[in-house]
Amino acid sequence: MKTSIHKRGSGILLHISSLPSDYGIGDLGSKAYDFVDFLKAARQSFWQILPINPTVSIYGNSPYSSSSAFAGNILFISPEGLVEEGWLEKGDLQTKPQFPADKVDYDAVKAYKQKLFSLAYQRFKSQRNKIREFERFCSEQSSWLEDFAQFVVFKKYFSDQLWSRWPEEIKNRKTNALQKLKVQLSDQMEEAKFYQFIFYSQWHRLKKYASQYGINIIGDIPIYVNYDSADVWSHSGIFKLDEDKGLIYVAGVPPDYFSQTGQRWGNPVYDWDQLKKERYAWWLHRIEHNLKLFDVVRIDHFRGFVDYWEIPAQEQTAVNGDWVKVSYDDFFTTLLKKFGSLPIIAEDLGIITAEVSEAMNTYEFPGMKVLLFAFGGDLKTHPYIPDNYIKNCVAYTGTHDNNTVRGWIEHEATDREKGNLWEYLGGEVPREELPWELIGLLMKSVANTVIIPMQDVLGLGQQDRMNLPGTPSGNWRWRLLPAAITSSLSKKVSQLTELSKR
């Protein structure tokens, strides 16, 4: 079951939204190709991104809260690409707002891009010169695309209400009522499908380009899906819902050192007994879909495949819940029969049981080691200290949820952590040099795979972190400035990579 993550390599974590572009948010256009060129020049093997599914304003535009586990985020569609593909003219792009270069203004981007997308769709309808390609896409993706198009169009039609508050016959997907509404809203549904067609066309071109240069893309799957999503509406039977399609239980984690009330995420939990009866059809489809999009897949909250914290939906905190076991062996055996190998990274941060470790070892899934977490305990025994790494792991300075290295040392690290860090390094290091000191530690470690957030490659501070967990707004906005990528930077990364035999 050896895959690219079982070989010695390294890469950079940078989400699509963080790429430079002239249109307010990173996209699948020329700057994405430039970043692939940078990775190649820097001798990297991996480009890790965050989930690329649609984001929702009400959830702070988090890529981990989506209306679909299968659809793509159309904000990542490149306007330049729309011109190259013949859906827009150059003149259509000339009148645009003055977007900030260093942050994403989601509302401004949505307003601007929606006008472009509407123009592109009108041109598509009038030309129809690629209708066969579009129809082929719709046919190949019909297992999710039809439900998704219905969901987004119906949701708008019903004043953006939760799907569980739609008229009963639509909420419960009664065939005649659905068909009648689909006919009424057929043009809007085709428009939603067209946008997905464009997104996937641009995505697969970029992935092909990356593959040509030996760059493996690591994608990201949140284990849970939003309640208000196409997935729960169209596959309600595989979630623990009541007869009225309301939530019975929600997901989260129990109280721990970091939170006295735990974390109540609010996502519906899976009915694993029903999934087993269906031979995990929905999950098989989801994994297959993502393995076509990415070379490697990181699964967020991997522990949920072994056991998960189930909270009664009426509870306001995560205190009163229960651990529920999952027949993970039957599940992963079924996946292996289907796919032969599973290039999966298991997000195993936090409290992990022996059973979770056993599952990861059995199926050779590498776990994650975050260096910023390593200095609060015993340097001799802490699992995140590089001296204690095993080969089959993926090592990070930090993830999208961490501060940057500089932000951590300047604002978060305790006196004990600083003391342990300086002891481990053999002396205090200037703050501006610390990111590369830690990057060097990871690159020289035995870990098969090392992934460094772009912010740490650039030595940026707290103001440039991607996400501050527990805060509802202001996250997922950071962007890479075009001038930050230089030939000297790629040379510096390349030299360390070569020195580290990666």
Q: Active-site residue numbers?
A: 300, 347, 401
- Residue 485's CB is within 10 A of a number of other CB atoms, namely 20
The amino acid at 25: I
Burial of 229 (0-12, 13-18, 19+ CB in 10 A): buried
Q: Phi, psi at residue 393, to the nearest 5°?
A: -150, 165
Burial of 394 (0-12, 13-18, 19+ CB in 10 A): buried
User: What is the three-state SS of 158-219?
Assistant: CCCCCHHHCCHHHHCCCHHHHHHHHHHCHHHHHHHHHHHHHHHHHHHHHHHHHHHCCCEEEE
The amino acid at 216: N
Q: Which residue has the tokens 């769709």?
A: 121
311-331 CB burial, b ≥16 within 10 A, e <16: bebebebbeebeeeebebeeb
Q: Provide the 3-class DSSP secondary structure of residue 265.
A: strand
Strand pairing class (307-312; 322-325)? antiparallel
List helix spans (H) across 272-349.
272-277, 281-293, 328-339
Q: HSE on the CB side for 97, CA within 13 Å?
A: 17
**Alpha carbon of 370 to those of 272, 374, 415, 456: distances in Å?**
31, 7, 19, 13
CA distance 454 to 460: 9
Q: Provide the 3-class DSSP secondary structure of residue 102.
A: coil
**Alpha carbon of 228 to those of 57, 444, 478: distances in Å?**
13, 45, 27
Q: What dihedral do alpha carbons 455, 459, 464, 469 form, nearest 10°?
A: 70
235-267 CB burial, b ≥16 within 10 A, e <16: bbebbbbeeebebebbbbbbeeeeeeebbbbbb
